[in-house]
A and B are shown apart, each in its own frame.
Chain A
């Protein structure tokens, strides 16, 4: 009797342990599966959506594909010989050394030199030029300091590769250089409208005076 009872108890105990393990296992798998599903699924897709057609614009955005044009893009170049308002006029000063000198002789900053324009020029300069030319135009911007990009000449003490000191650069020369770039500097006319370039020219003239 005693033996039988003992046997019964142990088998019962084993069963309990087995059940526990099984339940624990199932619970673990369930939790793990739900964690995996919820963490992986979300990142690559935008998730559940209702009425997607309310999200998609009817008129194409500038960055959406477009079947109506031969190259499949919505963003198109303006037709030949046209100038959108506020953009560069027909190229009077070509990207040559002659064009550069002609710009120097023929161009003058059309903007009035005042605090508002200078402040906007400073903001634009820091956004667009400062990371190479440095906050004071000394050719010591952040990516130059980190030796990721070679230093440009200082506005106040350097020499231009097209002759003359950097501090003597004229309106037209600076404007021409921002427009077309020079040596390792790329052209910035697609990023800056002519007015914005003139504001930067105005501010660069201030940096040329720093000793």
Chain B
């Protein structure tokens, strides 16, 4: 048995380059046929059963698997993988040692694996450990096409620019025509011999400016231009005072909603888990990040190092990824709040998310395409009111609206609606 596996391992090692090249094809074809003892079949089982606790070259929940083929013999490994607790209970010294080393964490028994399955896994481990360190797996999430956030504002800017351009061109045309008229005048005068040639050739800039300032048409157009420019700028500025639409401050961590919500399709409410039950949607605390990022370090994109942005989480939590221990000096990440509703207005997320059933994107825009979040909606009173005027109340299965609708039915039927029906007998109405 052992010699067979050795042969397989040797073959696996010698065919390393070929297999590394054809790995992608093998991985796709592995469902169809699984020849005994080969690494590709092992890869399929490994990904399905082992990766939740093991990685080849780093400790996850259980130990790194690099070098297990050298450390233990195959018969022992087969017994261990199929039922580690039986080995521990039987008092096998190697088994007890590993069990104690990993804080008595029990390894899931896999009685459904055959001996050949286990050999396939071991062949895969042997192949992977001798492969060059960072074999980048599936090409990273490059994200969906960065959505073109069409902002209605840009249209009006474009139109404004166009108008200014037209005015400038008109001014230029007038100036040129003025010149032409003058030149022709001169030529006529000269022909009549009234003008001595070269009379005012050398006029200084000051003189020219003074002449220009006396030109009523020119002055008129300059004034019109300035009035239009400052008028439109001022108008825009006044309308946009206190409107933070498009506000996109730099955040302490370059967290990408495009990656997490767009590519990975993690539900908004996994992290913003207060949106459906509270006034605030909540900026998630770092323990929510750590639910995934205790494992995900994106090291394949950073030459085996933890991504610098994920390292910021570890630093803030005083967490040591090597020992997986938290220190006692955590500091909160100071995110910059983007949506600042004035204190004079009350807004409640749960009312809109749970009761009305409005999708996050209706107010926050195409969040799943934003690498960096900006304020999509103006959050002006007009914006709120326009929606409240047009949207239908979602009264289905909601006891609160049942009562309101019942009162309206009573009114329609011409029945008497007393203050008591509207809660006029609540103690707090008088004794508040």
Chain A residues engaging chain B, CB cutoff 8 angstroms: 4-5, 8-9, 11-12, 16, 19-20, 23-24, 27, 31, 35, 38, 42-50, 54-58, 61-63, 65, 73, 97, 126-128, 130-131, 142-143, 146-153, 159-163, 181, 183-188, 190-192
Contact = CB atoms under 8 A, between A and B. Distances in A.
Given A16-B179, A143-B264, A191-B273, 6 more contacts: A127-B267, A131-B267, A150-B52, A151-B47, A159-B109, A191-B270
A149 B343 CA distance: 41
Contacts of A44: 248-250
Contacts of A23: 171-172, 175
B377 interface: no
B343 A56 contact: yes
Given A43-B374, A55-B340, A126-B267, A48 B241 contact: yes
Contact of B295 (A4, A38, A147, A149): A149
16 contacts: A8-B197, A20-B176, A44-B249, A46-B247, A50-B242, A55-B340, A97-B104, A127-B273, A142-B264, A146-B263, A148-B296, A151-B51, A153-B52, A186-B294, A187-B287, A192-B273
A97 B106 CA distance: 10
A148 B140 CA distance: 9
A127 B337 contact: no
Interface string B330-343: 00101101001011
A146 B264 contact: yes
A161 B106 contact: yes
Interface in B227-273: 237, 240-244, 246-250, 263-267, 269-270, 273
A15 B332 CA distance: 66
Contacts of A61: 280
B106 A162 contact: yes
B410 interface: no
Interface in B374-409: 374
Contact of A142 (B247, B265, B294): B265
Given A54-B343, A131-B265, A160 B52 contact: no
B45 to A, nearest CB: 12
A205 B406 CA distance: 39
A56 B61 CA distance: 46
A58 B51 contact: no
Nearest to B294: A186
Interface of B: 47-48, 51-53, 60-61, 85, 104, 106-110, 112, 137-138, 141, 157, 161, 164-165, 168, 171-172, 175-176, 179, 183, 187, 190, 197-198, 201, 237, 240-244, 246-250, 263-267, 269-270, 273, 280, 283, 285, 287-288, 290-292, 294-296, 332, 334-335, 337, 340, 342-344, 374
A58 B343 contact: yes
B340 A127 contact: no
Given A131-B266, A191-B288, A146 B141 contact: yes
B283 A63 contact: yes
Nearest to A131: B266
B123 to A, nearest CB: 20
A47 B386 CA distance: 23
Given A186-B290, A187-B287, A161 B242 contact: no
B237 A48 contact: yes
Given A48-B241, A148-B264, A31 B165 contact: yes
A150 B294 CA distance: 13
Contacts of A160: 108
B241 A12 contact: no
B168 A163 contact: no
Contacts of B137: 147
B49 to A, nearest CB: 8
Contacts of B247: 42-43, 45-47
B61 A184 contact: yes
Contacts of B108: 153, 159-161
